[in-house]
Amino acid sequence: MLIHPQINPIALQIGPLAVHWYGLTYLAAFALFMFLGLRRLRHPPFANITGPAAWVSKDVEDILFLGVMG
């Protein structure tokens, strides 16, 4: 028989406001995406692109927004 721990799904609760563990996971994933995406823009090969299709930080923000909405 598999023993499953009874973990409380609520990580933090202040009055009627409750933050669940999966919400913190989403927040960490979005923050990590922004950090790694912006860091990647500053390093080769993206840092050396000078053509009209060069990515900028606004592009990373747009991709994050579309990922959150989709």
Query: What b/e readout covers 5-28, taking b as 16+ CB neighbours within 10 angstroms?
Result: eeeeeeeeeeeeeeeeeeeeeeee
Give this prediction's pTM.
0.75
Q: pLDDT for 9-64, tens place per residue?
A: 999 999 999 999 999 999 999 999 999 999 988 887 766 766 666 778 999 999 99
| Closest C-alpha to 18, from 6, 9, 7 | 9
